[in-house]
Structure 1
Amino acid sequence: MHKLACPKCHEPLIQIGNSYKCVKGHCYDIAKSKYLNLLLNPDKATNNPGDSKESLIARKAYLTNGYYDIILNNVIDCIKRYRKGNKLNILDLGCGEGYYTCGLNKVFNQDTIYGLDISKEAINMATKYTKDVYWLVGNSKNLPFLNHSLDFITALFTVVNQDELKRTLKNEGYIIHVTANPNHLIEIKELIYDKIKVKSDKYIRLDFETIESYDLVHLIHIDNREDALNLLKMTPHYYHIKKERRNVLDTLEKLSVTIDIKITIYHI
Protein backbone atom coordinates (compact mmCIF):
# COMPACT_ATOMS: atom_id res chain seq x y z
CA MET A 1 0.00 0.00 0.00
CA HIS A 2 1.53 3.30 -1.07
CA LYS A 3 1.95 6.25 1.32
CA LEU A 4 1.27 9.11 -1.08
CA ALA A 5 -0.43 12.26 0.16
CA CYS A 6 -1.91 15.28 -1.57
CA PRO A 7 0.71 18.06 -1.70
CA LYS A 8 -2.05 20.66 -1.13
CA CYS A 9 -3.67 19.25 2.01
CA HIS A 10 -1.61 16.12 2.90
CA GLU A 11 -4.71 13.94 2.91
CA PRO A 12 -4.18 10.39 1.56
CA LEU A 13 -4.22 9.98 -2.21
CA ILE A 14 -6.29 7.15 -3.69
CA GLN A 15 -5.84 5.88 -7.24
CA ILE A 16 -9.03 6.02 -9.28
CA GLY A 17 -8.45 4.93 -12.85
CA ASN A 18 -5.63 7.02 -14.32
CA SER A 19 -5.73 9.62 -11.57
CA TYR A 20 -4.95 10.04 -7.90
CA LYS A 21 -7.50 11.91 -5.78
CA CYS A 22 -7.87 12.99 -2.16
CA VAL A 23 -11.06 13.40 -0.11
CA LYS A 24 -10.97 17.16 -0.69
CA GLY A 25 -11.25 16.70 -4.45
CA HIS A 26 -7.70 17.53 -5.49
CA CYS A 27 -6.83 15.41 -8.52
CA TYR A 28 -3.53 14.44 -10.19
CA ASP A 29 -3.40 12.55 -13.48
CA ILE A 30 -0.89 9.81 -14.20
CA ALA A 31 1.33 10.80 -17.15
CA LYS A 32 1.57 8.56 -20.23
CA SER A 33 5.04 7.45 -19.15
CA LYS A 34 3.62 6.46 -15.72
CA TYR A 35 4.85 9.17 -13.40
CA LEU A 36 2.81 11.42 -11.13
CA ASN A 37 3.32 15.17 -11.11
CA LEU A 38 2.78 16.36 -7.53
CA LEU A 39 4.73 19.60 -7.88
CA LEU A 40 2.60 22.62 -7.13
CA ASN A 41 3.20 25.90 -8.96
CA PRO A 42 4.05 27.77 -5.73
CA ASP A 43 6.73 25.12 -5.03
CA LYS A 44 8.79 25.89 -8.12
CA ALA A 45 10.84 28.99 -8.87
CA THR A 46 10.92 28.50 -12.67
CA ASN A 47 8.84 26.71 -15.30
CA ASN A 48 11.47 23.99 -15.65
CA PRO A 49 13.23 23.58 -12.29
CA GLY A 50 16.00 21.09 -11.68
CA ASP A 51 18.97 19.92 -13.73
CA SER A 52 19.26 20.72 -17.42
CA LYS A 53 18.45 18.08 -20.02
CA GLU A 54 22.10 18.07 -21.14
CA SER A 55 23.25 17.35 -17.59
CA LEU A 56 20.67 14.58 -17.13
CA ILE A 57 21.61 12.84 -20.38
CA ALA A 58 25.29 12.98 -19.42
CA ARG A 59 24.51 11.65 -15.95
CA LYS A 60 22.56 8.68 -17.28
CA ALA A 61 25.27 7.80 -19.80
CA TYR A 62 27.99 8.02 -17.16
CA LEU A 63 26.24 6.21 -14.32
CA THR A 64 25.05 3.31 -16.46
CA ASN A 65 28.71 2.45 -17.08
CA GLY A 66 29.06 1.60 -13.39
CA TYR A 67 31.61 4.18 -12.27
CA TYR A 68 29.59 5.16 -9.19
CA ASP A 69 28.25 1.71 -8.33
CA ILE A 70 30.48 1.71 -5.25
CA ILE A 71 28.29 4.54 -3.91
CA LEU A 72 25.06 2.71 -4.75
CA ASN A 73 26.32 -0.49 -3.14
CA ASN A 74 27.26 1.32 0.06
CA VAL A 75 23.78 2.82 0.31
CA ILE A 76 22.25 -0.63 -0.26
CA ASP A 77 24.46 -2.07 2.49
CA CYS A 78 23.35 0.68 4.87
CA ILE A 79 19.69 -0.15 4.32
CA LYS A 80 20.35 -3.85 4.80
CA ARG A 81 22.22 -3.13 8.01
CA TYR A 82 19.46 -1.10 9.64
CA ARG A 83 16.28 -2.46 8.16
CA LYS A 84 13.78 -4.28 10.29
CA GLY A 85 11.92 -7.35 9.03
CA ASN A 86 8.82 -5.49 7.85
CA LYS A 87 8.13 -4.37 4.32
CA LEU A 88 9.80 -1.01 3.77
CA ASN A 89 8.77 2.28 2.21
CA ILE A 90 11.93 3.83 0.78
CA LEU A 91 12.15 7.29 -0.79
CA ASP A 92 15.08 8.25 -2.99
CA LEU A 93 14.95 12.02 -2.63
CA GLY A 94 16.32 14.14 -5.49
CA CYS A 95 16.59 11.00 -7.59
CA GLY A 96 17.44 12.76 -10.87
CA GLU A 97 17.13 10.44 -13.85
CA GLY A 98 16.67 7.47 -11.55
CA TYR A 99 19.83 5.37 -11.75
CA TYR A 100 20.29 4.93 -7.99
CA THR A 101 16.54 4.48 -7.45
CA CYS A 102 16.45 1.69 -10.01
CA GLY A 103 19.43 0.07 -8.27
CA LEU A 104 17.56 0.15 -4.97
CA ASN A 105 14.47 -1.32 -6.60
CA LYS A 106 16.43 -4.27 -8.02
CA VAL A 107 17.64 -5.24 -4.55
CA PHE A 108 14.57 -4.30 -2.49
CA ASN A 109 11.97 -5.46 -4.99
CA GLN A 110 9.62 -6.70 -2.27
CA ASP A 111 9.53 -3.23 -0.72
CA THR A 112 7.86 -0.04 -1.98
CA ILE A 113 10.28 2.35 -3.68
CA TYR A 114 9.64 6.00 -4.51
CA GLY A 115 11.82 8.26 -6.64
CA LEU A 116 11.18 12.00 -6.37
CA ASP A 117 12.77 14.91 -8.18
CA ILE A 118 11.76 18.49 -8.93
CA SER A 119 12.62 18.05 -12.62
CA LYS A 120 9.85 16.70 -14.83
CA GLU A 121 12.48 15.93 -17.49
CA ALA A 122 14.46 13.84 -15.00
CA ILE A 123 11.44 11.83 -13.85
CA ASN A 124 10.31 11.23 -17.41
CA MET A 125 13.77 9.77 -18.12
CA ALA A 126 13.60 7.71 -14.93
CA THR A 127 10.46 5.92 -16.10
CA LYS A 128 12.52 4.36 -18.90
CA TYR A 129 14.42 2.29 -16.32
CA THR A 130 11.37 0.63 -14.79
CA LYS A 131 7.70 1.21 -14.06
CA ASP A 132 7.99 -0.71 -10.77
CA VAL A 133 8.79 2.48 -8.85
CA TYR A 134 6.51 5.33 -7.85
CA TRP A 135 8.11 8.06 -9.95
CA LEU A 136 7.12 11.49 -8.65
CA VAL A 137 7.71 15.09 -9.62
CA GLY A 138 7.79 17.05 -6.38
CA ASN A 139 9.64 19.42 -4.08
CA SER A 140 11.76 18.46 -1.07
CA LYS A 141 10.16 21.36 0.82
CA ASN A 142 6.70 19.82 0.42
CA LEU A 143 7.00 16.04 0.25
CA PRO A 144 3.81 14.33 -1.01
CA PHE A 145 3.78 11.65 1.69
CA LEU A 146 1.68 10.90 4.73
CA ASN A 147 3.05 11.87 8.12
CA HIS A 148 5.47 9.32 9.60
CA SER A 149 5.06 6.86 6.73
CA LEU A 150 8.60 6.29 5.38
CA ASP A 151 11.18 3.85 6.75
CA PHE A 152 14.20 5.17 4.84
CA ILE A 153 14.98 8.32 2.92
CA THR A 154 18.12 8.28 0.79
CA ALA A 155 19.52 11.66 -0.24
CA LEU A 156 22.50 11.48 -2.58
CA PHE A 157 24.11 14.82 -3.47
CA THR A 158 20.82 16.68 -3.09
CA VAL A 159 19.18 19.41 -1.05
CA VAL A 160 16.94 18.30 1.81
CA ASN A 161 14.47 19.99 4.12
CA GLN A 162 14.82 18.89 7.75
CA ASP A 163 11.23 19.66 8.73
CA GLU A 164 9.87 17.51 5.90
CA LEU A 165 12.25 14.67 6.69
CA LYS A 166 11.08 14.68 10.28
CA ARG A 167 7.41 14.88 9.29
CA THR A 168 7.45 12.02 6.77
CA LEU A 169 9.82 9.56 8.43
CA LYS A 170 8.47 6.99 10.84
CA ASN A 171 9.61 6.98 14.43
CA GLU A 172 12.72 4.81 14.20
CA GLY A 173 13.14 5.89 10.57
CA TYR A 174 16.53 6.50 8.91
CA ILE A 175 18.09 9.04 6.57
CA ILE A 176 21.05 7.94 4.45
CA HIS A 177 22.77 11.17 3.48
CA VAL A 178 25.54 11.15 0.85
CA THR A 179 27.56 14.37 0.55
CA ALA A 180 30.76 15.36 -1.21
CA ASN A 181 33.98 15.91 0.73
CA PRO A 182 36.38 18.69 -0.34
CA ASN A 183 38.54 16.30 -2.38
CA HIS A 184 35.64 14.78 -4.30
CA LEU A 185 36.54 14.98 -8.02
CA ILE A 186 39.58 17.06 -7.05
CA GLU A 187 41.29 16.27 -10.35
CA ILE A 188 38.48 17.95 -12.30
CA LYS A 189 38.59 21.00 -10.03
CA GLU A 190 42.34 21.29 -10.60
CA LEU A 191 41.77 21.23 -14.36
CA ILE A 192 39.26 24.05 -14.54
CA TYR A 193 39.81 26.37 -11.55
CA ASP A 194 42.71 28.74 -10.88
CA LYS A 195 42.11 28.38 -7.15
CA ILE A 196 40.08 25.71 -5.40
CA LYS A 197 37.85 26.97 -2.60
CA VAL A 198 37.31 24.63 0.32
CA LYS A 199 33.82 25.01 1.78
CA SER A 200 32.80 23.98 5.26
CA ASP A 201 30.25 21.18 5.38
CA LYS A 202 28.69 22.31 8.66
CA TYR A 203 25.71 23.78 6.81
CA ILE A 204 24.80 20.45 5.22
CA ARG A 205 25.00 18.41 8.43
CA LEU A 206 21.52 17.53 9.66
CA ASP A 207 20.24 18.13 13.16
CA PHE A 208 19.29 14.53 13.87
CA GLU A 209 20.92 11.75 15.84
CA THR A 210 23.92 10.41 13.93
CA ILE A 211 24.25 6.68 14.33
CA GLU A 212 26.98 6.14 11.75
CA SER A 213 29.19 8.34 9.59
CA TYR A 214 32.13 7.36 7.43
CA ASP A 215 34.20 8.56 4.50
CA LEU A 216 34.35 6.60 1.27
CA VAL A 217 37.41 7.28 -0.88
CA HIS A 218 37.93 5.46 -4.16
CA LEU A 219 39.94 6.18 -7.33
CA ILE A 220 38.23 5.51 -10.66
CA HIS A 221 39.88 5.33 -14.06
CA ILE A 222 38.10 6.60 -17.15
CA ASP A 223 39.76 5.50 -20.37
CA ASN A 224 37.66 7.28 -22.99
CA ARG A 225 36.77 10.85 -23.85
CA GLU A 226 33.00 10.32 -23.93
CA ASP A 227 32.76 9.10 -20.33
CA ALA A 228 35.16 11.80 -19.09
CA LEU A 229 33.06 14.51 -20.74
CA ASN A 230 29.85 13.03 -19.38
CA LEU A 231 31.26 13.08 -15.85
CA LEU A 232 32.17 16.74 -16.26
CA LYS A 233 28.79 17.65 -17.78
CA MET A 234 26.83 16.03 -14.97
CA THR A 235 28.55 18.28 -12.40
CA PRO A 236 28.12 22.03 -11.84
CA HIS A 237 31.83 22.45 -12.62
CA TYR A 238 31.20 22.13 -16.37
CA TYR A 239 29.07 25.25 -16.36
CA HIS A 240 31.70 27.24 -14.44
CA ILE A 241 34.57 26.74 -16.90
CA LYS A 242 36.01 30.09 -17.98
CA LYS A 243 36.59 30.73 -21.67
CA GLU A 244 40.36 30.68 -21.24
CA ARG A 245 40.07 27.20 -19.72
CA ARG A 246 37.82 25.64 -22.36
CA ASN A 247 40.86 24.03 -23.96
CA VAL A 248 40.97 21.51 -21.12
CA LEU A 249 38.01 19.79 -22.76
CA ASP A 250 40.36 18.74 -25.58
CA THR A 251 42.66 16.94 -23.13
CA LEU A 252 40.09 14.56 -21.68
CA GLU A 253 41.12 11.39 -23.50
CA LYS A 254 41.75 9.62 -20.20
CA LEU A 255 41.07 10.66 -16.65
CA SER A 256 41.57 9.28 -13.16
CA VAL A 257 39.35 10.92 -10.55
CA THR A 258 38.81 10.55 -6.84
CA ILE A 259 35.46 9.71 -5.31
CA ASP A 260 35.61 11.25 -1.83
CA ILE A 261 32.27 11.31 -0.07
CA LYS A 262 30.76 11.14 3.38
CA ILE A 263 27.92 8.73 4.12
CA THR A 264 25.95 9.66 7.23
CA ILE A 265 23.07 7.70 8.69
CA TYR A 266 20.68 9.68 10.82
CA HIS A 267 18.00 8.27 13.08
CA ILE A 268 14.65 9.90 13.82
Structure 2
Amino acid sequence: MHKLACPKCHQTLQLEEKTYKCNQNHCYDIAKNQYINLLLNPDKSCNNPGDNKESLLCRKNYLNQGYYDVILNEVVSYIRHHYQPNMHILDLGCGEGYYTYRMKQELGDDCTFYGLDISKDGIQMATKYTKDIYWIVGNSKNLPIQDHSLDVITALFTVVNESEIKRCLKENGYMIHVTANNKHLVEFKELIYDEVKIKSDEHIRLPFETIKSYDFTKKIHLKNREDTLNLLKMTPHFYHIKKERRYVLDTLGEFDVTIDIRITVYKI
Protein backbone atom coordinates (compact mmCIF):
# COMPACT_ATOMS: atom_id res chain seq x y z
CA MET A 1 0.00 0.00 0.00
CA HIS A 2 1.38 3.39 -0.98
CA LYS A 3 2.07 6.22 1.49
CA LEU A 4 0.86 9.14 -0.62
CA ALA A 5 -0.95 11.98 1.13
CA CYS A 6 -2.88 15.01 -0.01
CA PRO A 7 -0.61 18.08 -0.17
CA LYS A 8 -3.50 20.29 1.00
CA CYS A 9 -4.64 18.41 4.12
CA HIS A 10 -2.10 15.53 4.44
CA GLN A 11 -4.86 12.94 4.62
CA THR A 12 -4.31 9.60 2.92
CA LEU A 13 -4.92 9.50 -0.82
CA GLN A 14 -7.02 6.67 -2.22
CA LEU A 15 -6.90 5.61 -5.87
CA GLU A 16 -10.25 5.57 -7.65
CA GLU A 17 -9.80 4.53 -11.28
CA LYS A 18 -7.23 7.10 -12.53
CA THR A 19 -7.69 9.69 -9.79
CA TYR A 20 -6.26 10.00 -6.28
CA LYS A 21 -8.72 11.40 -3.73
CA CYS A 22 -8.64 12.19 -0.03
CA ASN A 23 -11.53 12.31 2.46
CA GLN A 24 -11.80 16.06 1.88
CA ASN A 25 -12.47 15.28 -1.80
CA HIS A 26 -9.28 16.90 -3.07
CA CYS A 27 -8.59 15.18 -6.39
CA TYR A 28 -5.41 14.55 -8.40
CA ASP A 29 -5.44 12.80 -11.76
CA ILE A 30 -2.74 10.41 -12.90
CA ALA A 31 -1.06 11.86 -15.98
CA LYS A 32 -0.86 9.98 -19.25
CA ASN A 33 2.83 9.28 -18.56
CA GLN A 34 1.88 7.67 -15.22
CA TYR A 35 3.07 10.33 -12.81
CA ILE A 36 1.05 12.37 -10.32
CA ASN A 37 1.27 16.14 -9.95
CA LEU A 38 0.98 17.02 -6.26
CA LEU A 39 2.59 20.45 -6.54
CA LEU A 40 0.25 23.16 -5.30
CA ASN A 41 0.30 26.62 -6.84
CA PRO A 42 1.32 28.26 -3.53
CA ASP A 43 4.36 25.94 -3.48
CA LYS A 44 5.58 27.23 -6.85
CA SER A 45 8.05 30.10 -7.20
CA CYS A 46 7.27 30.36 -10.93
CA ASN A 47 5.20 28.63 -13.60
CA ASN A 48 7.86 26.03 -14.38
CA PRO A 49 10.06 25.61 -11.30
CA GLY A 50 13.12 23.39 -11.01
CA ASP A 51 15.92 22.57 -13.42
CA ASN A 52 15.40 23.51 -17.05
CA LYS A 53 14.98 20.87 -19.74
CA GLU A 54 18.48 21.35 -21.18
CA SER A 55 20.12 20.77 -17.81
CA LEU A 56 17.94 17.71 -17.17
CA LEU A 57 18.81 16.21 -20.56
CA CYS A 58 22.51 16.75 -19.87
CA ARG A 59 22.09 15.09 -16.48
CA LYS A 60 20.29 12.12 -18.01
CA ASN A 61 22.88 11.65 -20.76
CA TYR A 62 25.76 11.97 -18.31
CA LEU A 63 24.41 9.72 -15.56
CA ASN A 64 23.47 7.01 -18.04
CA GLN A 65 27.17 6.67 -18.88
CA GLY A 66 27.70 5.32 -15.35
CA TYR A 67 30.33 7.84 -14.19
CA TYR A 68 28.45 8.57 -10.95
CA ASP A 69 27.51 4.96 -10.19
CA VAL A 70 30.28 5.01 -7.58
CA ILE A 71 28.08 7.45 -5.64
CA LEU A 72 24.96 5.40 -6.22
CA ASN A 73 26.75 2.28 -4.99
CA GLU A 74 27.63 3.93 -1.66
CA VAL A 75 23.96 4.75 -1.05
CA VAL A 76 22.68 1.35 -2.14
CA SER A 77 25.30 -0.44 -0.05
CA TYR A 78 24.13 1.23 3.15
CA ILE A 79 20.47 0.48 2.47
CA ARG A 80 21.26 -3.12 1.57
CA HIS A 81 23.19 -3.65 4.82
CA HIS A 82 20.22 -2.32 6.81
CA TYR A 83 17.58 -3.94 4.69
CA GLN A 84 14.12 -4.75 6.00
CA PRO A 85 11.19 -6.26 4.09
CA ASN A 86 8.68 -3.97 2.41
CA MET A 87 10.61 -0.74 2.85
CA HIS A 88 9.19 2.55 1.57
CA ILE A 89 11.96 4.75 0.13
CA LEU A 90 11.63 8.35 -1.06
CA ASP A 91 14.27 9.87 -3.34
CA LEU A 92 14.08 13.66 -2.90
CA GLY A 93 15.05 15.91 -5.78
CA CYS A 94 15.15 12.93 -8.11
CA GLY A 95 15.43 15.09 -11.24
CA GLU A 96 15.12 12.93 -14.35
CA GLY A 97 15.01 9.79 -12.21
CA TYR A 98 18.28 7.95 -12.86
CA TYR A 99 19.31 7.40 -9.24
CA THR A 100 15.79 6.38 -8.20
CA TYR A 101 15.47 3.91 -11.04
CA ARG A 102 18.88 2.37 -10.40
CA MET A 103 18.21 2.06 -6.66
CA LYS A 104 15.06 0.12 -7.45
CA GLN A 105 17.00 -2.10 -9.85
CA GLU A 106 19.59 -2.85 -7.19
CA LEU A 107 17.24 -3.32 -4.22
CA GLY A 108 14.42 -5.17 -5.95
CA ASP A 109 10.65 -5.09 -6.15
CA ASP A 110 10.16 -5.74 -2.44
CA CYS A 111 10.79 -2.02 -1.83
CA THR A 112 8.26 0.67 -2.72
CA PHE A 113 9.98 3.68 -4.30
CA TYR A 114 8.87 7.28 -4.63
CA GLY A 115 10.74 9.80 -6.79
CA LEU A 116 9.87 13.45 -6.14
CA ASP A 117 11.03 16.58 -7.88
CA ILE A 118 9.64 20.07 -8.33
CA SER A 119 10.45 19.95 -12.05
CA LYS A 120 7.59 18.61 -14.15
CA ASP A 121 9.98 18.15 -17.07
CA GLY A 122 12.24 16.03 -14.87
CA ILE A 123 9.42 13.77 -13.69
CA GLN A 124 8.16 13.33 -17.23
CA MET A 125 11.64 12.14 -18.21
CA ALA A 126 11.75 9.83 -15.18
CA THR A 127 8.66 7.94 -16.29
CA LYS A 128 10.63 6.75 -19.32
CA TYR A 129 12.82 4.60 -17.04
CA THR A 130 9.97 2.66 -15.44
CA LYS A 131 6.36 3.00 -14.38
CA ASP A 132 6.97 0.87 -11.25
CA ILE A 133 7.91 3.91 -9.15
CA TYR A 134 5.57 6.54 -7.77
CA TRP A 135 6.83 9.53 -9.76
CA ILE A 136 5.65 12.74 -8.11
CA VAL A 137 5.83 16.42 -9.03
CA GLY A 138 6.03 18.06 -5.63
CA ASN A 139 7.85 20.41 -3.27
CA SER A 140 10.27 19.20 -0.58
CA LYS A 141 8.83 21.88 1.72
CA ASN A 142 5.41 20.22 1.54
CA LEU A 143 5.92 16.51 0.96
CA PRO A 144 2.76 14.68 -0.18
CA ILE A 145 3.61 11.77 2.10
CA GLN A 146 1.82 10.39 5.17
CA ASP A 147 3.21 11.17 8.61
CA HIS A 148 5.91 8.77 9.89
CA SER A 149 5.49 6.38 6.97
CA LEU A 150 8.92 6.21 5.29
CA ASP A 151 11.78 3.88 6.14
CA VAL A 152 14.40 5.74 4.10
CA ILE A 153 14.78 9.14 2.47
CA THR A 154 17.65 9.71 0.06
CA ALA A 155 18.76 13.21 -0.91
CA LEU A 156 21.59 13.38 -3.44
CA PHE A 157 22.83 16.91 -4.14
CA THR A 158 19.49 18.49 -3.29
CA VAL A 159 18.00 20.87 -0.72
CA VAL A 160 15.92 19.28 2.04
CA ASN A 161 13.44 20.62 4.54
CA GLU A 162 14.21 19.70 8.14
CA SER A 163 10.64 19.67 9.47
CA GLU A 164 9.29 17.63 6.55
CA ILE A 165 12.04 15.03 6.90
CA LYS A 166 11.18 14.68 10.57
CA ARG A 167 7.46 14.43 9.86
CA CYS A 168 7.67 11.77 7.16
CA LEU A 169 10.27 9.35 8.53
CA LYS A 170 9.32 6.47 10.79
CA GLU A 171 10.70 6.40 14.31
CA ASN A 172 13.49 4.05 13.22
CA GLY A 173 13.82 5.55 9.74
CA TYR A 174 16.89 7.32 8.41
CA MET A 175 17.98 9.74 5.72
CA ILE A 176 21.03 9.42 3.47
CA HIS A 177 22.28 12.88 2.54
CA VAL A 178 24.90 13.27 -0.21
CA THR A 179 26.53 16.71 -0.37
CA ALA A 180 29.46 18.22 -2.25
CA ASN A 181 32.74 18.95 -0.50
CA ASN A 182 35.01 21.83 -1.51
CA LYS A 183 37.13 19.78 -3.92
CA HIS A 184 34.11 18.38 -5.77
CA LEU A 185 34.57 19.13 -9.50
CA VAL A 186 37.41 21.46 -8.54
CA GLU A 187 38.90 21.15 -12.03
CA PHE A 188 35.85 22.90 -13.48
CA LYS A 189 36.01 25.57 -10.79
CA GLU A 190 39.66 26.30 -11.61
CA LEU A 191 38.76 26.84 -15.26
CA ILE A 192 35.72 29.01 -14.64
CA TYR A 193 36.45 31.19 -11.61
CA ASP A 194 39.18 33.73 -10.96
CA GLU A 195 39.46 32.36 -7.43
CA VAL A 196 38.25 29.06 -6.01
CA LYS A 197 36.72 29.92 -2.66
CA ILE A 198 36.55 27.56 0.29
CA LYS A 199 33.01 27.51 1.62
CA SER A 200 31.73 26.27 4.95
CA ASP A 201 29.27 23.39 4.81
CA GLU A 202 27.70 24.38 8.12
CA HIS A 203 24.45 25.51 6.50
CA ILE A 204 23.78 22.11 4.89
CA ARG A 205 24.37 20.04 8.03
CA LEU A 206 21.12 18.92 9.63
CA PRO A 207 20.32 18.96 13.38
CA PHE A 208 19.59 15.24 13.56
CA GLU A 209 21.45 12.39 15.20
CA THR A 210 24.28 11.28 12.91
CA ILE A 211 24.54 7.52 12.48
CA LYS A 212 27.41 7.66 10.03
CA SER A 213 29.30 10.35 8.16
CA TYR A 214 32.28 9.97 5.85
CA ASP A 215 34.00 11.57 2.90
CA PHE A 216 34.24 9.81 -0.44
CA THR A 217 36.80 10.95 -3.02
CA LYS A 218 37.56 9.54 -6.45
CA LYS A 219 39.13 10.84 -9.65
CA ILE A 220 37.21 9.90 -12.79
CA HIS A 221 38.16 10.18 -16.45
CA LEU A 222 35.54 11.59 -18.82
CA LYS A 223 36.04 9.89 -22.16
CA ASN A 224 34.97 12.61 -24.58
CA ARG A 225 33.88 16.20 -25.02
CA GLU A 226 30.17 15.34 -24.93
CA ASP A 227 30.40 13.72 -21.48
CA THR A 228 32.52 16.58 -20.16
CA LEU A 229 30.05 19.23 -21.35
CA ASN A 230 27.09 17.24 -20.05
CA LEU A 231 28.60 17.11 -16.56
CA LEU A 232 29.41 20.82 -16.60
CA LYS A 233 25.96 21.78 -17.91
CA MET A 234 24.16 19.80 -15.21
CA THR A 235 25.89 21.86 -12.51
CA PRO A 236 25.31 25.49 -11.43
CA HIS A 237 28.89 26.27 -12.47
CA PHE A 238 27.95 26.34 -16.15
CA TYR A 239 25.53 29.21 -15.56
CA HIS A 240 28.14 31.17 -13.61
CA ILE A 241 30.70 31.32 -16.43
CA LYS A 242 31.54 34.94 -17.18
CA LYS A 243 31.45 36.12 -20.77
CA GLU A 244 35.21 36.57 -20.88
CA ARG A 245 35.64 32.94 -19.73
CA ARG A 246 33.31 31.32 -22.27
CA TYR A 247 36.30 30.40 -24.40
CA VAL A 248 37.10 27.55 -21.99
CA LEU A 249 34.14 25.62 -23.39
CA ASP A 250 35.97 25.32 -26.72
CA THR A 251 38.98 23.73 -25.00
CA LEU A 252 37.10 20.89 -23.34
CA GLY A 253 37.54 17.31 -24.51
CA GLU A 254 38.56 14.30 -22.46
CA PHE A 255 38.75 15.46 -18.87
CA ASP A 256 39.84 14.24 -15.45
CA VAL A 257 37.60 15.46 -12.66
CA THR A 258 37.38 14.88 -8.92
CA ILE A 259 34.38 13.50 -7.07
CA ASP A 260 34.61 14.81 -3.51
CA ILE A 261 31.47 14.28 -1.45
CA ARG A 262 30.27 13.67 2.07
CA ILE A 263 27.75 10.94 2.77
CA THR A 264 25.83 11.43 6.00
CA VAL A 265 23.21 9.11 7.45
CA TYR A 266 20.82 10.81 9.87
CA LYS A 267 18.42 9.26 12.32
CA ILE A 268 15.40 11.28 13.38
- Give the TM-score taking structure 1 as reference length: 0.99
Which residues in structure 2 correspond to 1:185-264 (within 5 Å)? 185-264=185-264
1:62 aligns with 2:52: no
How far does the alpha carbon of each residue in 1:181-227 deviate from its partner, in whole angstroms, 9 at most, with x for none?
00000000001100112110011001100010010100000121100
How far does the alpha carbon of each residue in 1:109-153 deviate from its partner, in whole angstroms, 9 at most, with x for none?
211000000000000000000001000000000000110000000
Matched residue, 1:164? 164
Matched residue, 1:123? 123
Matched residue, 1:82? 82
SS of the equivalent of 1:158 reads: coil
Structure 1 residue 59: deviation in Å? 0.3
Corresponding residue pairs, total? 267
Matched residue, 1:104? 103
CA distance in 2, matches of 1:145, 1:243: 43
The amino acid across from 1:70 in the alignment is: V
How far does the alpha carbon of each residue in 1:80-106 deviate from its partner, in whole angstroms, 9 at most, with x for none?
1223x3310000000000000001111
CA distance in 1, matches of 2:198, 2:123: 32
Determine if contact 2:7/2:142 at 8 Å carries over to the other structure.
yes
The amino acid across from 2:19 in the alignment is: S
SS of the equivalent of 1:177 reads: strand
CA distance in 2, matches of 1:224, 1:141: 38
- Give the TM-score taking structure 2 as reference length: 0.99
* Percent identity for Structure 1 against Structure 2: 66
Determine if contact 2:85/2:110 at 8 Å carries over to the other structure.
no
Matched residue, 1:46? 46
CA distance in 2, matches of 1:197, 1:41: 37
SS of the equivalent of 2:228 reads: helix
CA distance in 1, matches of 2:147, 2:85: 18
SS of the equivalent of 1:166 reads: helix
Structure 1 residue 254: deviation in Å? 1.2
SS of the equivalent of 1:203 reads: helix
CA distance in 1, matches of 2:170, 2:253: 48
SS of the equivalent of 1:220 reads: strand
The amino acid across from 1:75 in the alignment is: V
Matched residue, 1:91? 90
SS of the equivalent of 1:165 reads: helix
Matched residue, 1:6? 6
SS of the equivalent of 2:202 reads: coil
Determine if contact 2:13/2:22 at 8 Å carries over to the other structure.
yes
Q: Which runs of 4+ in 1 moved over 2 A?
A: none
Gapped regions of structure 1 (runs ≥ 5):
none
Cα RMSD over matched residues?
0.6
Structure 1 residue 62: deviation in Å? 0.3
Which residues in structure 2 correspond to 1:138-157 (within 5 Å)? 138-157=138-157
CA distance in 2, matches of 1:42, 1:91: 23
CA distance in 2, matches of 1:7, 1:204: 25
CA distance in 2, matches of 1:43, 1:201: 26
Gapped regions of structure 2 (runs ≥ 5):
none
Task: Report the more deviating stretch, 194-203 or 63-72.
Answer: 194-203
SS of the equivalent of 2:204 reads: coil
The amino acid across from 2:95 in the alignment is: G
